[in-house]
Amino acid sequence: MVTADFSRLKVKPGARILDIGCGEGRHTCAAYRLKGVTVVGADLNFNSLAVAREKLHFHDQLGEHGGGCWGLSVTDITRLPFADATFDVVICSEVLEHIPADRDAMAELLRVLKPGKDLVVSVPRYFPERICWMLSDDYVNANQGHVRIYAKTQLVSRLESLGARTWASHFAHSLHSPYWWLKCLVGPTRTDSMAVNLYHRFLTWDIMKRPKITRFSSRLLNPVMGKSLVVYLKKNSV
């Protein structure tokens, strides 16, 4: 499930891309398909990186890549082990809501990004996330813990105050919002709910098959109930 829209970024061969908080590598693998790029997936969870590594090796075996290279790093987002202005694109998807020191993390994202280049940040959207918090007291501690809910104006203001300007935004994954509401109703950590498991099977089918009807429905509903807010920014030039 890729949240960032790579078609908006116009990434050129030779670009360096950082996917910070990459988890099991969904954006890392998607970026690796771009022509001639170097992509680095970084996360604090070693086990997630091990899964990402297997996925990237699988892409190598099938030749499903753009001819570039990849690397993985166990990394704390608040203290990135990269020099200033290293990357042409930085992606941070569904991470900041987990980070207590989110301003430190945001500052690091921009520090390692080259001036004039693109930062893509996604977080859970305020309205669907607020419903999850209302439906379940356990939701905040499930899914590796959420410490805040961002309003769009708040997220944009914090990032722009650190030296960036927003040039686009959109909402994504509307079909996932009811899934999380349903999980919260029955208990976010339960695995024996037939309704939740059936919905999960539907979402997996949708991701794998990408039928036109669900693509159309998702685009139609994203402005109303998209689960994720996605913001595109450029780092200010020096």
Tell me the CATH number for domain 6-125+143-173+227-235.
Answer: 3.40.50.150
CA distance 17 to 110: 13
Q: What is residue 143's predicted lDDT score, i.e. its pLDDT?
A: 65
What is the number of helices (H) and of strands (E) in the chain?
Answer: 8, 7
Quick: pLDDT tens for 97-120. Answer: 999 999 999 999 999 999 999 999
Counting as low any pLDDT under 50, the low residues of the chain are none
> What's the first-to-final CA gap in the chain, in angstroms?
35
Q: What is residue 141's predicted lDDT score, i.e. its pLDDT?
A: 81
Domain residue ranges in the chain? 6-125+143-173+227-235
Quick: pLDDT tens for 57-88. Answer: 999 999 999 999 999 999 999 999 999 999 99
Q: Are 86 and 115 in contact (CB under 8 A)?
A: no
Q: What is residue 137's predicted lDDT score, i.e. its pLDDT?
A: 86
Q: What is residue 11's predicted lDDT score, i.e. its pLDDT?
A: 96
Q: What is residue 235's predicted lDDT score, i.e. its pLDDT?
A: 98
